[in-house]
Structure 1
Amino acid sequence: MSTHEVTHLETGEKVTRQAILINPYYKAEGQPASQHHIDPEVEDFHRQLPAYGETQLHSLPSIATELGFAHVFLKDESSRFGLPSFKILGASWAIHRVLCRRLELSSSTTLDSVKQALASRKESDPTASVRLVTCSEGNWGRAVARMAKYYEIPATIYVPGFMNEYTRNLIRGEGSNIDLRVLDGSYDDTIAAVQHEAETDSSALMVMDTSWPGYEEIPGWVTEGYSTLMAEVDRQVVDHTKGQQLPVVAVASVGVGSWAHSVVSHYRITANNKVITVEPVAAPSFKESLHCGEITPIKTGDTIMNGMNCGTTSTIAWPVLRDGTFAAVTVNDLESHDCVYELRHDYVGVNAGPCGAATLVALRKLCADRGDVSSEDRKNMVVVLFSTEGRREYTLPAGA
């Protein structure tokens, strides 16, 4: 089994880890269904957004045959409301809730009514303007920028220096109201900059998809926003399997953890379901926290899987992921790139970027290197690979 080296941020300690960790804290029993209720208000809100529509669930029959599963599906998030990523689901709902709270409106208020209230507020009192502030490695920032354009309010978005100019320009292209600020340093450094801005400017509304002590409500709304995607998958799987109720193996990428938090929460209704997480070897912050038994910030490196290049796991995601993740897997850039190429050429219409293709790498690794999901069990299981981004520009890894 392949290995990778991890450096702890606070102590500088270097450790070598294997690519697969069967979670020692995993609680096999399912959780009460009442804890995972999907609020229809979230999906009702998303239906108001321009270009609303369900994204495609692709069937991958040759991979199902290769690995011995009943079905393997890939949820393709390459075109969500006209953006190449699922992130706008969480960003839109969280921003809606933040603005409703600032305007003292109910969360059931329509998008157009919130927009009108913002305009009226600005007209009556120009000093009462609001501005969205966040940080991003790409897709999250673009989603926040898109929502700022919808509501006709400004947004300030901090990005780390390793973000390429192509991605920066995609964010800038969302509108003239976007102030993009590039910082030398890591993603964690941009978090600190956003925190400082929110503390020193009353007009700044901090909207983040990661949490820390004292900042948990808004990231919780982000996770709620992703429930629309989970509801779609449930309907689509039932349709594809003609109503069969089979256990699900869900494979989800992990950055700060808000997306994986939604996936684990959803599938933990039954103990027969299993969730596998995947991270790049350059930033396995959640997997390392599992090794250590607590949130453990790490130093991150360069990776084509930019959306997962995060050094610290969100505090509200951590206990859910710790208890509900079956296995944590790391993949390298070449492995991810090879799967991007495979999916592009072997399956018509599948559009997966590096973070999305990494889920297939992780599934294959677990099936090849571990017997924890036995071949007999696989015959009656459905796999859902969550491809969280479409293809995009990146520097080819060595060996490609």
Structure 2
Amino acid sequence: MTDTGPATESRTTSPDTATPGTPGTSPVWYARPAAREWTCSPAPAEVRAFHATLPAYAPTPLTELPSLAAELGVGRVFVKDESARLGLPAFKALGASWAVDRVLAERTSDTPVELVTATDGNHGRAVARIARQLGQQAHVFVSQAVHPGAAASIEGEGAWVTRVAGDYDQAVREAAAAARAEDSVLVQDTAWEGYEEVPARIVEGYSTLFAEVDEQLAAAGVGGPDLVAVPVGVGSLAQAAVTHYRSRGTRGPALLAVEPTEAAPGLASLVRGESVTVAAGETVMAGLNCGTLSGLAWPVLRDGLDAAVAVPDAEALAAGRELGALGVSSGPCGAAALAGARAALTGAGARERRAELGLGAGATVVLLSTEGTAANPHGSV
């Protein structure tokens, strides 16, 4: 990876002083325009070929929504609809399937293996589904914030579910401890020192989503996006976005990270210039309710993200309802991308934020709607 040096421009609004969601005020915001000069290595080319071999694989829709383009003051808006990915209502199976395939391929024993993970919902269900399809067992740890309906969906895949009296970070710690048993493998989408190989595979798996976007935009007569809005939990999908767009050797699109105001470790870390843990509160964006970024994601996001913003639950829920009315099933986590784009491109201070993102009136915006309403029982609240 190549670092082109410190940012030449940046602007931050402190999470301690800003009031997101208040009419007439600027959102909690971070920007680093120099990020578009940073480069890195691409994901392995064989990931897309692997996914194409899966019986349930098909590219998910990229839906153009002209009414949103008019609202946001840009040329075109496309929503990547992940509400039906490999038979599940979220994108997570892309990463889990590739990681599990690599884990099993590298094992020297043919004995069954227990796949262990922690989840706020969608990742755990993806691991459970893949384990069932491959004749393996899954043990999934869920935090206390996980809706009973989401836990029941994981159990419905045949997984053993352990409910943790704590937050997502506590669930990860307990899953990691349980995975130390013989014939158990931790399949976690967050990394820390000493545990990096499997999370790296999960990030690689997400590269298929962006390869699809490239092909779908080309079919729509668009050379590429000018802005991509990515919901962020532990940061693995955002890491995949940065890897994809910063590995081309040309100046790519602006990349906007979107988090809940109640759980925004990415924004806090970018503002501080170092990875920090925040106390995650309650949020309907359950899949984004994380207090710590993945150790692998942090340096990539620090160097390759253009901007970050935090949005309140009410705005994510409203965005989900509006996307639904436009024909895109989107739970609060997925709809966070639209809420974040609105926070960035409209309202007080929008002219300055648009300038930092390098967006003109003819820009193409891609919103990653990472889950459908079926993935999150809060989606209809």
TM-score range, shorter chain: 0.7 to 0.9
- 1:106 maps to what in 2? none
Quickly say closer, same or farther: Cα 1:291–1:30, change in 2 above 3 A.
closer
Contact kept? 1:70, 1:382, Cα under 8 Å: yes
Deviations 1:9-42 (A, max 9, x none): xxxxxx444533233585341426xx22x53321
The answer to whether structure 1 residue 73 and structure 2 residue 75 are counterparts is: no
**SS in structure 2 opposite 1:385?**
strand
Which SS does the other structure have where 1:167 is aligned?
helix
Aligned to 2:22: none
Q: Go from structure 1 to structure 2 and tell me whether the alpha carbon gap of 1:184 and 1:264 turns closer, same or farther (over 3 Å shift).
A: same
1:191 aligned to 166, 169, 172, which one?
Answer: 172
Hey, what does 1:340 align to over in structure 2? 320
Q: Is 1:51 aligned to residue 34 of structure 2?
A: no
User: TM-score, normalised to structure 2's length?
Assistant: 0.88
What is the number of equivalent residue pairs in this alignment?
A: 355
TM-score by length of 1: 0.84
Q: Counterpart in 1 of 2:367?
A: 385
Name 2:37's counterpart in structure 1.
Answer: 29
Could you tell me how far apart the structure 2 residues matched to 1:140 and 1:246 are? 29
Deviations 1:337-387, CA, capped at 9 Å, x for gaps: 111111111x13x11110111111111111123323249942332111000
Aligned to 2:157: 174
2:113 pairs, out of 107, 130, 149, with 130
Aligned twin of 1:325: 305
State the AA in 2 paired with 1:98. Answer: V
CA distance in 1, matches of 2:358, 2:204: 35
Contact kept, 8 Å, 1:25 with 1:323, in 2: the verdict is no
Residue 306 (1) aligns with residue 267 (2) = no
Q: Which moved more, 1:265-274 or 1:327-336?
A: 265-274
In the alignment, the residues of structure 2 paired with residue 373 and residue 159 of structure 1 have an alpha-carbon distance, to the nearest angstrom, of 39
Residue 335 (structure 1) shift: 0.6
2:195 paired residue number: 215
Q: Given the alignment, which residue of 225, 229, 239 partners 1:261?
A: 239
> In the alignment, residue 307 of structure 1 is paired with which amino acid?
G
- Secondary structure in 1 aligned to 2:308? strand
Taking a change above 3 Å as real, the CA distance of residues 312 and 85 of structure 1, as seen in their structure-2 partners, is same
Q: Return the match for 2:125 from 121, 142, 164.
A: 142
| Cα distance between partner residues in 1 of 2:291 and 2:49 | 34
The reply to whether residue 97 of structure 1 matches residue 79 of structure 2 is no
Unmatched tracts of structure 2, length 5 or more: 1-12, 20-26
Unaligned runs of 5+ in 1: 6-14, 104-117, 123-128
Work out whether 1:229 is the aligned partner of 2:237: no
Q: Deviations over 1:135-184 (max 9, x none)?
A: 00100000000110111011110001121211111101112xx1100011
Alpha-carbon separation, structure 2, partners of 1:25 and 1:193: 39
8 Å Cα contact 1:246/1:380 also seen in 2 = no
Counterpart of 2:253 in structure 1 is: 273
- Aligned identity (percent) is 41
RMSD, aligned CA: 2.1
Is the CA contact 1:133–1:156 (under 8 Å) kept in the aligned structure 2? Answer: yes
User: Deviation at 1:197?
Assistant: 1.4
CA distance in 1, matches of 2:104, 2:272: 38
CA deviations over 1:295-354 (Å, ceiling 9, x no partner): 101111111100100000011111110111111111111111111111111x13x11110
Distance 1:181 1:256, change over 3 A: same
Amino acid in structure 1 at the alignment position of 2:119:
S
4+ residue segments displaced more than 6 Å: none
Letter in 2 for 1:365: A
Structure ID, larger Rg: 1
Question: Which stretch shifts more, 275-284 or 161-170?
Answer: 161-170
Q: Give the Cα–Cα distance (whole angstroms) in 2 for the partners of residues 232 and 27 of structure 1.
A: 23
Deviation of 1:102 after TM superposition, in Å, equals: 1.3
Counterpart Cα distance in 2 of 1:87 and 1:70: 30
In structure 2, C-alpha distance between the alignment counterparts of 1:186 and 1:373, rounded to whole Å: 35
Q: How much does 1:48 deviate?
A: 2.4
Please list the CA deviations of residues 91-112 of structure 1 after superposition, one character each: whole Å capped at 9, or x if unmatched: 0001111111113xxxxxxxxx
Q: Residue 136 of structure 2 corresponds to which residue in structure 1?
A: 153
1: distance between equivalents of 2:143 and 2:225?
A: 40
Render the CA deviation track for 1:252-297: whole Å, top value 9, x for unaligned: 0110011110011112233341000000011001111111111101
